[in-house]
Structures are given as C-alpha cells and as structure tokens.
Structure 1
C-alpha cells in the first residue's frame, strides 16, 4: 500500500535544510537575545537575519516584520490591535463569510464588545464583489480583513484591488495570507497591504511560529504584554529556533516559487480532471490561475466526507473534508455553505492539497483509488438509493 500525503494545506513537513539551520539554536546557541554577552548577540543576529529574509520575500522593511506564535495569533493581533487603537475613530470592521476561524471568531468576539462587523457574501467560486466592499464602507469603518487565498477551496481574492479601495478610503487592510505565502507571489507594497499574517508550518517550516507584517507608521495596540521584545510590540522570550526556521523556510519558498507554482498547477489540474470523471462530482472554487496551485476541493453527491476520509486512510491516502482547525466538527463547511451549496452536498466534500512531496504517481494512485470508494459508499447510501428510484436532479 502506498502512503500518499495530500493535506499540505493543513500542515507541511520541515525541510531538512530548515531543520539543519534550526538545530544549533536548541543546544549551543541558546542565549537569550535580550542579554548582552556573546552567545546572546549570536541569537539576536540570527533573529535579525530571519527578519531580513522574510522582508525580502514580502517586499517590505525588516522593521515591519514581527514574529508571533503562529498565524492565528497574527490574525488576532491585527484585528484586535486595530480595533482597540482606533475605537475613537470608529467601530466598524469588514470581513467575509469564508474567512478562517481565526478571523471569524475574533470578529465575533469584538461584536460582543460593541463593534459592528459586516460579513461580505461571496459568489459561487468564493470571490467577493468589489462593489459590495465599497458599499459596505461607512465613516465608522476602521479595518477590512480579507484572506489572500481560501484554505478550503483555493480562491485567490483580488487583493491588489481590495487594497486600493482601502487606501483610497483611508482604511487599514489586513490579509490572512497563511495559505498564500510560498504558493503565489506577494508584494505588500504593490498590493497596498497594511498588515499580513503568515505561519511557518504551511511553508515547510516549524509549527508554533508565525509573522505579522505591520506597515510602518500604523498605530496598533499590543496583544501580548510583558517585556520589550519585538521592539516592545510582542512580549515574550523569542522562539529563536522557530524564527530561524521560518526565515529559512520562506527564503527557500521564495527562491523556488516559480517552479513550485508550475509543478503544483500541473499536478492539481491532473487530479481535478481525474476526479471529475466520477459521476455527480463538482469542483468547488475557481479554475486556472485564480486558484491556489496545489488546491483541489470536490463534492461527491449522496455520501459524507467523513466516510470518504476513512476509506482513503485505509488505502494510505491522507486528505481532509475542509479546514484542519474544524476537522472535529459535524457541521458542514461554512465556506461551502457560503458559496451556495446545500447542507447535504456540502457534507460530501473532499479537500486534497498538494505539496513538494507530491508526485504524478501519487496523483494517479488517488485517481485510481477514489472511484471504487465512491461507488461502494453510494451503494450503501439511502440518498443514492432514493435518487435511483426517483430520478431526482
């Protein structure tokens, strides 16, 4: 039996080159960067070097890069920090119905604190309507937070255009780019991005480390208080090994971005074409260059995603039915519901995401393995039985 990992959107392995750079900072290079002796200066220099690598990849200044405990913390900091710092100007935030829960739950929390949040609708492919964004802006709007690329269906939003709208209206624009970094080109200056979140474990770096880019001059309150680390904006002794790891991982991703995108797109389209040959199967999200290169999300009618995942696992294939952060939920994906799928069809979703370890042989094995699984599960499904009897659409 093959072992095929196709859940790279959930997490990635740490590349050997990344681990190699990290290891010394667990042992001999262990100094606290806030101290003044030699081994502490060594760790401080390592942090500075990692900051420069990330700044190069995003096209920003090194002093605009702040290290966090992950993507969720970065999202929380951006949204809560702006809300708190600018509450005298306004209390209105705009986001979308298809955001990661790190954004949605943060906005829901702020609603309980008296803030108003507009959740923009999306079309059947997951895109916002730019006119809807313009019309939602009021004189109380202080922040727009819209994800760069969707973690479930791969939709890449028109980020540059969103940023331009926010810039013209003097509103801060934050984007959760956790899925986008290392998979598509990002330029925070060209795209008019004020704040951007990313996470190390999505780009072949370690878990427990993330970044929030904050454009210089933005007034934002701290989320974590304590010492003076991260230029007094994010307290806590630095995760040196993690910072070194995320710096190296993003450097590698940036250096190989063009070839990575090309290969992932070819594998993605091969997998989509193969799966769509199964009757009563639909692709969720857009096609072409408006979709993340390695993202495949399909719905199989008349069966549930959990049954598919269990059957795939038995065949050595790792996939998901949506976001890894909500994998224990029995509710259908909020993203699939937002693009207009009824509950019963949203329950039959399968997300397969490709990465650097993926091969043509892996893709072909999945294409060969999935059809008999779907046929077997449908033959066990009362929904399929009713469909055959009634000939419903």
Structure 2
C-alpha cells in the first residue's frame, strides 16, 4: 500500500529500532533504582535529556519525557498555569489548535479561566496585531501551535514569542508536527515551553517530551510524583526515550536536505493537480507551510468518500488530524479559515515522508483524477 499519512504517524526507523533493542537489553533497569543497573539506566536517561535539549537549543534541565504529544500538551499547560494563577486567569490560544489543546482550553473555561481563541485568516495564519490586542493585565499564558496539523500553515512563531515576552506572557507552542521537519530553536523563537512526540519522526509510539525553560515556575499536576523531577508519575521508559532521541538526532541531521526534497515533491504534486485541471483546491498558506503536509478540498466530494476510494486503490490518506477521525463534525480548521460546513466536509490531507517517491505521487494524482471523473459522470 502507498502511504501518504506521515503526519498521523511514521514507521520506526532502523536506527530507532536498533536503539530500542540495545537499550531494552543493556539498560533495562528502573532509572530510579539505586543499584548499579538502575544507575546505568539513569545515566543513559541523562545523556538523552542533554542530546534532545541540544537539538532545540534548550537547557537540559528543562526536558521532561512523557508518553507523547497529547500528554505533553496537557501537562505543560496545567503545570504552568497552576503556578501562575495568582497573577491572572486570562489565557490565549487559537481556533485551530490540535484537539488535545483545544478541548483542554474548553475545559479550563469551566474552571474559571477566561480564554481568548484567536481567529485565523483564509490561509490559517493568526494576526499578530490581534494577538497584541488580546493581551490584558490578567493574561498569564498563551499556547499557539508552530504549524497546523491539517493544512500545514506555519505561524510566525519568532514574532509571536517576542510580542508575548514583551508583555510577560508565558508562551507554549505545540511543535509535534514541526520538530524534525523545520528548524525549532527555543531561544531564537522566545518559546518558554513546547511539546514534541517521537512517532512523528520515525521513533516509537508512546514517547514524547515537554520542554519548559528552567526559569519558568511550574507546579506538579500529580502531587508527590517522583519521576521526571516530579513532572509526571510512572516508571520512565528509558528504551523508548533512547529510541526517540536516536530518531531525533537522525532526522535533525538531515533536516535541510529532506526539507528541500519534500518541498520539491510538494510542488510537483501541486503542478500535476493544476496541469490536469482537477477540481481540487490546495488549502493553507502558499509560502508559510510545512513541506510535507498538503490539505486538499475536492470540490463536490466528501472527504470520507475520497479517502475510502483512495484506500480501495491501495493508497492511504486521511480526512484530517488523526485525533479527530471518526467524528461527524466537519474539520474545525476548515471552518476557521472560512469554509461552509459542506465545503469543510470535502477536506482530505496528504502528507509525505522519508519514503515518498515521485512515482507514488503520480499514482495518487491518477487515482484522484479517476475519483473526480467518476463523481462527475
């Protein structure tokens, strides 16, 4: 089967699999145990923390390993806002955040927090001036994703971070889709906290990380937790973390070359769509976008039908973010960029990865052409 759903998850790389096997065999001890086997696992954990921090230009003291992107988002937000609640109760986010954050902020509204959901334009970008206008003396925290997981639009994170820092607002960014795909630098981007996940970068599922600048105060969500400096409970998955960091090192080492290759594939796909004059609209920003994610609106055809027809032809695509699959409601991102409900239901997402080829793209476009012609007839 041809795979075009790398934004949902990636296969583990050979390097990541090898690292997991080696760590699970030689460093199987509980990193909190005081005997030599536990100490060896803890030393490996410390190395992993240092290596991951270097990849984002952060401080190793700010790395906390988790079970993935969703937990990273939830723990980062909760632990930080709890520590700063005495300063205010106003939070800022966007209308197009990943489901884990969007639903969290909805829950926080029921707990007494005042949340501003910034709108986006037709390309999925927020307005920096609207962000500035939303800040009040009660604003303590903002969470704005680095890139949208459905249409791939990349926010001007560096400018966002600078504006928020000028006002003393703590800035969290969901970087699950961007880490390893484009450059992430917490210092240059003025990011106080971020979340990343292993399975988006050819690492194992069930592993992720939070970065919180050591200068930022946080309160533990789970009182008396002893793992990850009290950030979360549960025995630390040292083999999974070693595999995660190995995958991160490999993808970041080849970031520029792969970014260029994926952008070329993207432009090739778009040129074929235009050349064949297919009734397909490319969603997202024409310039500020991830190279690997392309959102499509297939005119007059529901996304679920397009996805199922592609699957019948041996091609895997998606109808949006994997965390939203199965829900009847149209894409929240599509509605946010101005689509009507029926238009929003026409959305599908394709995403490229390490093994995507020109021949596979040719096949995808041929199938999309057949789907469009069949529905037209």
Q: Which residue of 93, 98, 101 corresponds with 1:100? A: 98
Aligned to 1:197: 195
Work out whether 1:215 is the aligned partner of 2:224: no
Question: What CA distance in whole angstroms lies between the structure 2 residues aligned with 1:346 and 1:227?
Answer: 43
Question: What CA distance in whole angstroms lies between the structure 2 residues aligned with 1:273 and 1:322?
Answer: 22
Q: Do 1:68 and 1:74's aligned partners in 2 also have CA atoms closer than 8 Å? A: yes
Aligned to 1:285: 284
Q: Do 2:319 and 2:347's aligned partners in 1 also have CA atoms closer than 8 Å? A: yes
Q: Which residue of 5, 8, 24 corresponds with 1:7? A: 5
Q: Which residue of 123, 142, 148 corresponds with 2:121? A: 123
Once the two structures are superposed, residues 239-269 of structure 1 have per-residue CA deviations (whole angstroms, 9 ceiling, x without a partner) of 1111111111111111110001001101111
Question: What CA distance in whole angstroms lies between the structure 2 residues aligned with 1:117 and 1:225?
Answer: 26
Question: What CA distance in whole angstroms lies between the structure 2 residues aligned with 1:225 and 1:263?
Answer: 47
Aligned to 2:157: 159
Question: What CA distance in whole angstroms lies between the structure 1 residues aligned with 2:217 and 2:33?
Answer: 28
Aligned to 1:294: 292
Q: Do 1:296 and 1:352's aligned partners in 2 also have CA atoms closer than 8 Å? A: yes
Aligned to 2:45: 47
Question: What CA distance in whole angstroms lies between the structure 1 residues aligned with 2:49 and 2:134?
Answer: 36
Q: Do 2:198 and 2:244's aligned partners in 1 also have CA atoms closer than 8 Å? A: yes
Work out whether 1:136 is the aligned partner of 2:134: yes
Question: What CA distance in whole angstroms lies between the structure 2 residues aligned with 1:81 and 1:175?
Answer: 15
Q: Do 1:226 and 1:236's aligned partners in 2 also have CA atoms closer than 8 Å? A: no
Question: What CA distance in whole angstroms lies between the structure 2 residues aligned with 1:359 and 1:341?
Answer: 32
Work out whether 1:231 is the aligned partner of 2:229: yes
**Unpaired runs of at least 5, structure 1:** 380-393
Aligned to 1:148: 146
Which secondary structure does the structure 2 equivalent of 1:358 belong to?
coil
Which secondary structure does the structure 2 equivalent of 1:263 belong to?
helix
Work out whether 1:313 is the aligned partner of 2:311: yes
Q: RMSD across aligned C-alpha pairs, in angstroms?
A: 1.2
Aligned to 1:24: 22
Which secondary structure does the structure 2 equivalent of 1:248 belong to?
helix
Question: What CA distance in whole angstroms lies between the structure 2 residues aligned with 1:356 and 1:335?
Answer: 26
Which secondary structure does the structure 1 equivalent of 2:126 belong to?
coil
Q: Which residue of 244, 247, 251 corresponds with 2:245? A: 247
Aligned to 1:382: none
When the two structures are superposed, what TM-score results if normalisation uses the length of structure 2? Answer: 0.97
Moved more, 233-242 or 179-188: 233-242
Question: What CA distance in whole angstroms lies between the structure 2 residues aligned with 1:233 and 1:330?
Answer: 35
Question: What CA distance in whole angstroms lies between the structure 1 residues aligned with 2:56 and 2:271?
Answer: 33
Question: What CA distance in whole angstroms lies between the structure 1 residues aligned with 2:223 and 2:283?
Answer: 42
Question: What CA distance in whole angstroms lies between the structure 1 residues aligned with 2:213 and 2:27?
Answer: 31
Q: Do 1:272 and 1:296's aligned partners in 2 also have CA atoms closer than 8 Å? A: no
- Give the deviation of 1:28 after TM superposition: 4.3
Aligned to 1:76: 74
Aligned residue pairs total 376
When the two structures are superposed, what TM-score results if normalisation uses the length of structure 1? Answer: 0.93
Question: What CA distance in whole angstroms lies between the structure 1 residues aligned with 2:289 and 2:131?
Answer: 21
Question: What CA distance in whole angstroms lies between the structure 2 residues aligned with 1:187 and 1:44?
Answer: 26
1:367–1:279 distance in 2 versus 1, CA, 3 Å? closer
- Give the deviation of 1:24 after TM superposition: 2.8
Moved more, 52-61 or 161-170: 52-61
Aligned to 2:180: 182
Question: What CA distance in whole angstroms lies between the structure 1 residues aligned with 2:178 and 2:221?
Answer: 24
Which secondary structure does the structure 2 equivalent of 1:8 belong to?
coil
Once the two structures are superposed, residues 330-357 of structure 1 have per-residue CA deviations (whole angstroms, 9 ceiling, x without a partner) of 1110001100011111111121000001
